[in-house]
Structure 1
Amino acid sequence: MKKLFFFLCFIAAVGCTNAQTQTPFTPPAYIPPYSILTTDSVTITPANLKKNKATMIIYFAPDCSHCQHLMFELKPHMKELKNVQVEMITFVQQIKAIQTFYRDFDLKKWPNWTVGTEGYTYKVQQFYHVATTPYIAIYDKNGKPVKYIDKDPKVADILAATKKL
């Protein structure tokens, strides 16, 4: 009886270890279908993106210290990103918080930057399986993915990826 008990425990332990093995997530090779409400209360979708122009999607939270730090580091390099459409998408529903973020980083100077909320849909968050913010996806002018950055984005990595576009 003891042997049977240990055998069943062994089988359960092996089953549990295999259940925890996960393959890394790779997002689909296209820009996600999204609908965001911008700081100007305008609804934007991928149909609003300019054709034949690179796109960078930054999934963020206005109160996220890592997101704010990234923006402080990106600010001196905004001219280098002027040929990239940047879509900053958040799950935060408070338009006032998003407007404050937009104002604090003076994004009105950069018409290629759009900031908005996806509201309660969480489509973009689910599309990329976002666990932490900021999450960055960079696409070439044909909408094909060039780079995904899901942890601790470095400005040098972002600029290197966008220079290739």
Structure 2
Amino acid sequence: MTMMKNILTVLMLFFVLTLEAQEPTPYLPDFEFQKLDSTSFKRTDLDSTKNTLIIFFDATCGHCKDAMIKVNKNYEKLYNTNVVLVSLDVEKSIHMFLTEFGPKFWNNSKVTILHDGKYEFVPLFNPKRYPSLYLYSPKRDLLVYANNDDKMEEIFKLIDTANHNQKKSASK
């Protein structure tokens, strides 16, 4: 029994170290997840003229709750950004999570909420932990990856800059 326990410990340690070594993909991967109404949503469904913010969360994660509260407070800054929320959770859990911590995102036609029922997000996007936030340019290049609060300010500064530049070019 001790031998089996040692083997499991070594395997778990290897798995954790491998996850820490992964880097997020430098571009927005091709993906297909399901909306909560069970319709398909793909990368090609995103508006290619806007930045894209993808938030990968778990409804039971304390850090995810804190991050969603901060993103919810900055919702108005996201008016010119594709906002995509992705979770492995079932709709009921997603609904409870968002109505409590991200009410501006629930039942919002400008926000896409996706369920990853096939568990494809992790191998495609290489998140290090929950929550993981990815900001991509309109050209689909990764601008910022954050898995904690320290880069949240950087994400919103980039979004503000993109919004400002868009307003400038529209007024010319």
> What's the TM-score once normalised by structure 2's chain length?
0.71
Moved more, 65-74 or 145-154: 145-154
Question: Of 41, 46, 49, which aligns to 1:49?
Answer: 46
Aligned residue for 2:62?
65
Counterpart residue type for residue 155 of structure 2: I
Do the aligned residues in 2 keep the contact of 1:136 with 1:148 (CA within 8 Å)? yes
CA RMSD of aligned residues (A): 2.6
- Paired with 1:53 and 1:118, the residues of 2 have a C-alpha distance of 23
Aligned residue for 2:92?
96
Does residue 35 (structure 1) correspond to residue 32 (structure 2)? The answer is yes
Do the aligned residues in 2 keep the contact of 1:33 with 1:123 (CA within 8 Å)? no
> What's the TM-score once normalised by structure 1's chain length?
0.74
- Paired with 1:35 and 1:147, the residues of 2 have a C-alpha distance of 22
Instruction: Give the count of matched residue pairs.
Output: 144
Please, which runs of 5 or more residues in structure 1 have no aligned partner? Answer: 1-19
Q: 1:36 to 1:101 in 2, by over 3 A?
A: farther
Do the aligned residues in 2 keep the contact of 1:91 with 1:117 (CA within 8 Å)? yes
Deviation at 1:96, TM superposition (A): 1.3
Aligned residue for 1:151?
148
- Paired with 1:109 and 1:38, the residues of 2 have a C-alpha distance of 12
Counterpart residue type for residue 116 of structure 2: E
Aligned residue for 1:85?
82
Do the aligned residues in 2 keep the contact of 1:82 with 1:110 (CA within 8 Å)? no
% identical aligned pairs: 21
Deviation at 1:146, TM superposition (A): 0.7
Moved more, 82-91 or 105-114: 105-114
Aligned residue for 1:161?
158
Higher fraction of helix = 2
